[in-house]
Amino acid sequence: MEKATFGSGCFWCTEAMFQRLKGVYNVKSGYSGGESNNPTYREVCSGQSGHAEVIQLEFDPEIISYKDLLEVFWKTHDPTTLNRQGNDVGSQYRSVVFYHNEEQKELAEAYKHKLDTSDIWNDPIVTEISPLETFYPAEVDHDDYYNQNSSQPYCAFVVAPKVAKLKKIFADKLA
């Protein structure tokens, strides 16, 4: 098993997508990339802690590769908007890959370069690629959030369309 850590806006959305992939296990929402130790949801949402909302997952590279995870990451959010995903605004919602080793760094940088030199996006990719220093798990009420709260308005109007997009684009990778 290997680990991957991604931030692509609200961690409820990101968790809901990655936990549906074959070969992905133990998806956990949390915080990374900030200044303070053991931040709370309230501190991160304030935008003052410097942390991003992220998910950390374990995956079996025999079933799904890190390259495949990167493809899902970049195709399920807008990597050209700085510190924003939809109505979620602030550095806590930034697009970020926190790599766990040099191979992940190289693969993330290569994929980002490929996107930047393609005609897929009109604007440059602003995704941060940084080493993972510390991952702080989010409070337990964020675990499996979408699956437990799918009728909640945010989930119904923001998370559900992203999950539907995932199912359409990556049907072959779903568990």
Residues catalogued as catalytic: 10
- The structure tokens listed for 134 are 């510390």
Q: What is the CA radius of gyration of the chain?
A: 15
Q: Please answer whether residues 105 and 99 qualify as being in contact, where contact means their C-beta atoms are separated by less than 8 angstroms.
A: yes
DSSP string, 78-113: -TTSTTEETTEESGGG-EEEEESSHHHHHHHHHHHH
In terms of Cβ atoms closer than 10 Å to its own Cβ (0-12, 13-18, 19+), residue 143 is middle
What is the distance between the alpha carbons of residues 33 and 115, in angstroms, rounded to a whole number?
24
What is the distance between the alpha carbons of residues 109 and 76, in angstroms, rounded to a whole number?
18
